Structure 1
Amino acid sequence: MSGVLIRSFEPVISDSARVLILGSMPGVKSLTEEQYYAHPQNAFWRVMSLLLDIDQDASYPEKLMHLKSSGIALWDVLRTCQRHGSLDSSIVPETETENDFKTLFQNYPKIRHVFFNGAKAEASFKRHALAKVKSFNIEYLRLPSTSPAHAGMSFEAKLDAWRIVLDTLK
C-alpha cells in the first residue's frame, strides 16, 4: 500500500529563533486545518501554553507569534512522503524527502538547539539530514512525542520532559 502523497508546511520561524522543534509530518487534522499540532488530543499546544504562559484559548496566529517571540521555531523533518492516515508508522520510508535544513541553518544562525517531537522525527532527521548539517554547531535531543498516539506516557511526564525547551531559552 503506497499511501497518499502529502506535503509539510513552511517553517514557523523568526530571525530571533534559537530553538527549532521538529515533528515528522503533520497529521491529517493538521493538514486539513493548515495548522501545526491541530489535533485536539495532541499535547503540544497545552505543553507550550504551560511552559511559555500562553493563553490556551489564544488563536493559532497568536500562539505562533508567542512561540516566535520566545525564540522557538517549528518545522517538520519531512518535506513530502506517502502515508495513509496520521500515524508515523504509516509513512512509507522510501517516499520520504527531507526539508532543506542546511539552508535553514545558514539563514537562521542563532539556532543552536533542535528538539525532536518524538522518535520518528529524530530517526528521519538522522537518516536524511544529519550528514548534510554536521558542520553546524547544533545540539540535538529527542523529546517524547506529544501525539495522542503516544499514550504510554502521562501528560505530566511529557510536560516535565519538555521543560528543557524552556531551560534552553533562559
Structure 2
Amino acid sequence: MEGMLARKAQSLEAYLLEEEQSPVKREFYRGFAYAMAGASALHNRVALNIAARFLEAARAKGCRVYMSDMKLRIGNEAVYYPDVMVVCREGPPNPYYEEAPCALVEVLSPATEALDRREKRAMYQRLESLGVYLLVDPEKGLFLAYRRTPEGFVEEEGKEVYIPCLDLTLTAEEAFRL
C-alpha cells in the first residue's frame, strides 16, 4: 500500500543505545519502541504524592524511589517507565534502568489504562522481586493492588494499600491530596 511505512523490529541493545540520545521518551515491547504521551496535571500530582510518601520510608530501609524518568527493564522483552518504582536491592546494574523493583505504581489515564491493566501487569508480574503492583485511579479515588502471595498474585481494591517492602500503608487521602 502506498504511503504505509514498515517498521522493523530492533534489539533491546539497539533500543537502549538510541534511548540514551532520544529527545522523545519511548517504551520498548518485544522489538518495537513506542513514544509515550504526556501526562495530565492530575496524573503528575498523584504520582508525586505517592513518591513523596514512599521516599521517607524508603530511605530508612536503604531503598530507592524513582518517578517516571527511570526505566525498568524486564529481561530482553520490555522496558517501561513506571510512574513510581521502589527498589530495595543493591545498586542498579546500569545507570539508566533497574531490573528488580519490589513495588510498582501506575496512575491510570484514559490513554494508558488498557496497557497498564493488561500488558504491563502481565510483564510486571514476571518479576520475582515484585511484591505489589498498584494501579491508581484518580477519577474514582481508588487503588487496585496486585499483591504477591505464595499462591500467586491476588487482586485487592480499596482506599488504602500496604506496601510490604516499605512496611507502609498508603491511603487514598495521601495519594489524592491536591
Regarding TM over 0.5, the answer is no
**TM-score, normalised via structure 2 length:** 0.33
**TM-score, normalised via structure 1 length:** 0.34
* Structure of larger gyration radius: 2
